[in-house]
Amino acid sequence: MLDAATYKPNCPQVKDPMEEYPSPGRAETMGGEVVEVYDNEDCLYLNVWTPAADQKKRPVMVFIHGGAFIVGSASSDFYNGKKLANHDVVVVTFNYRLGLLGFMELGNLDNNYNGSGNNGLRDQIAAIQWVKRNASAFGGDPENITIFGESAGSASVTALLATEKPANLFKRAIAQSGAANIIHSPEIAQQASKDILATGNFDTMDKLIQSSTLQLLNAQQNAYVQSEIGDRLFAPFVDGKIIKDNPNTLIRAGNAKDISLIAGANQNEMNYWSLYDSKLRNMFTDETDFGPAAPLIADEHRKMLEDKLQGKLDDKYSFIMKETNLSKLRQAQNDDFVMIQPMRKMVEYQLPHNSNVYLYRFKWKIPGKYLPAGTPDLGAVHALEIPFVFGNLDFSWVPGGRKYSEDPNTNAKKLSEQMMAAWTNFARTGNPNGSGVPEWPEYDLTNRRTMIWDDISSSAIDPDSDRRKIWEQEDFNPL
């Protein structure tokens, strides 16, 4: 009999300090510092939470974890599915190969390995296929599967919408902060591979194959620091086989016409990376512990964007926001460019083929009274919606979050119940509305109704419309 009572190993990675796992890794020295490493390649496992392993056909919700395709785990404390499953759904989380083991394209090194850069996506497809085959055994409906994911998991949802006949795998999709612009073009996938191979001095497949997992992780870590494309080293890429074309092009052409969709983003997405700085400064706009600002929109690309969008972004944002601080203007631009507007565009690409689409914006943030004196207000950062979606209300990882988590008089539980109800209602019927959920109309191009998740949640007509209009001529395709 197979022991299925405990979590299995995380996929190989150098642990990110923001992640929380139920078991520790092993201490290793890389780049002159001690890091926590997981290097067990026997990692392709999944976790199931179900109200009962009976014959009832419950909706099945399959979650794809985030972590820039280089870290993360289905066993993370953040993704415990017990409370979500209490809404009479089956919840599944799964591991997939990360980093170079899952997303390094090796076709240029050896033709036999063409397409290896999508091995992590193959793992995701295999996991969903397993769920479909076995859903009935744990009280789920194999014909009613909803995939949902956040960050890299959301980009994975986008990639899966661009596979052949996605409705054969799942019925509905929820994309939280990650669209086609995070997926790689073939050129970026090849450049990432070259950077890693050069860093590790891997000039033959034999050298790669003979290297230990720890050696591969060390090369990956060095490339992550040295490569010009930095934390964009890994992602699924448009290979013409699994992802047959730019996901936006395919979605716009009706490739996912049978899939109902929820998509959205957080108001202050890119402030998440401020959590890595000792003074909580935004590394994309200001000098931080990691050195000078690393602009998300490189100068050359900014010039191309501004030509397309007919005007300087800084001027447009300063006019809208009545703000002269360049750092704050650029932060708003980054939030729009990387997350907010690409998620909206995804919904709009799907809309002509399936009107059952919904857009949200998550604006909730830790109330100011819980913030330590002198701490900047980072707002609704990337991933802050996850504790609400899963009902695991631990905010200790954000400024003021520990005090907030320990205060029994907060309204977090109410917001979490609303979001869990909306997510599970959608999985059950394709409609997020129901008892306890603020009215959430389908998205359309007339009113652009968007659910605003906050202390008091409600739908709003075209929020931040002036900012939206700036980006109307940008498609947000894979870079």
* Euclidean distance between CA atoms 278 and 243, whole angstroms: 40
Task: Read off the pLDDT of residues 428-465 as tens digits, 9 standing for 90 and up.
Answer: 999 999 999 999 999 999 999 999 999 999 999 999 99
Joined tokens for residue 291: 């050195």
Partner residues linked to 264 by β-bridges: 176, 360
3-state secondary structure of 261: strand
Q: At what angle do helices 213-226 and 186-199 cross, to 10 degrees?
A: 110
Of 127, 149, 50, 130, whose CA–CA distance to 90 is shortest? 50
Instruction: Please compute the mean of the pLDDT values over residues 275-295 and round it to a whole number.
Output: 96
Task: Read off the pLDDT of residues 24-54 as tens digits, 9 standing for 90 and up.
Answer: 999 999 988 999 999 999 999 999 999 999 9
Partner residues linked to 46 by β-bridges: 94
Task: Read off the pLDDT of residues 358-385 as tens digits, 9 standing for 90 and up.
Answer: 999 999 999 999 999 999 999 999 999 9
Name the DSSP class of 111: G
* Euclidean distance between CA atoms 125 and 174, whole angstroms: 16
* Euclidean distance between CA atoms 80 and 86, whole angstroms: 12
- Report long-range pairs for 425-430 (Cβ below 8 Å, ≥24 apart): 426/146, 426/172, 426/174, 426/260, 426/262, 426/358, 427/59, 427/60, 427/61, 427/89, 427/144, 427/146, 427/172, 428/59, 428/89, 428/144, 430/171, 430/172, 430/260, 430/356
- What are the φ and ψ backbone dihedral angles of 459, each rounded to 5 degrees? -80, 150
3-state secondary structure of 47: strand
Task: Read off the pLDDT of residues 169-210 as tens digits, 9 standing for 90 and up.
Answer: 999 999 999 999 999 999 999 999 999 999 999 999 999 999
| Cα distances (Å, whole numbers) of residue 274 to 116, 293, 327, 401 | 33, 12, 13, 15
Band of pLDDT at residue 1, cut at 50, 70 and 90: low
Task: Read off the pLDDT of residues 395-438 as tens digits, 9 standing for 90 and up.
Answer: 999 999 999 999 999 999 999 999 999 999 999 999 999 999 99
Specify the pTM.
0.97
C-beta of residue 245 within 8 angstroms of C-beta of residue 238 = yes
Question: For all residues of the chain together, what is the average pLDDT?
Answer: 96
Residue 15: Cβ within 10 Å count? 19
Partner residues linked to 458 by β-bridges: 452
Instruction: Please compute the mean of the pLDDT values over residues 53-81 and round it to a whole number.
Output: 96
What pLDDT is attached to residue 4? 81
User: Which positions are annotated as active-site residues?
Assistant: 151, 269, 382
For 34-51, b/e burial (b = at least 16 CB within 10 A) is: ebbbbbeeebbbbbbbbb
* Euclidean distance between CA atoms 42 and 370, whole angstroms: 42
Residue 47 C-alpha from the chain's centroid = 19
- Topology adopted by domain 13-272+330-366+376-470: Rossmann fold (3.40.50)
DSSP string, 309-365: HTS-HHHHHHHHHT---HHHHHHHHHHIIIIIHHHHHHHHHHTTT-S-EEEEEE---
Of 367, 371, 372, 458, whose CA–CA distance to 409 is shortest? 367
What pLDDT is attached to residue 346? 98
Residue 475: Cβ within 10 Å count? 15
* Euclidean distance between CA atoms 241 and 7, whole angstroms: 33
pLDDT exceeds 70 at position 162: yes
Of 271, 366, 338, 281, whose CA–CA distance to 474 is shortest? 338
Instruction: Label the pairing between strands 140-150 and 449-453.
Output: unpaired
Of 163, 177, 332, whose CA–CA distance to 262 is shortest? 177
C-beta of residue 200 within 8 angstroms of C-beta of residue 215 = yes
Domain edges within the chain: 13-272+330-366+376-470
* Euclidean distance between CA atoms 337 and 426, whole angstroms: 28
Band of pLDDT at residue 250, cut at 50, 70 and 90: very high
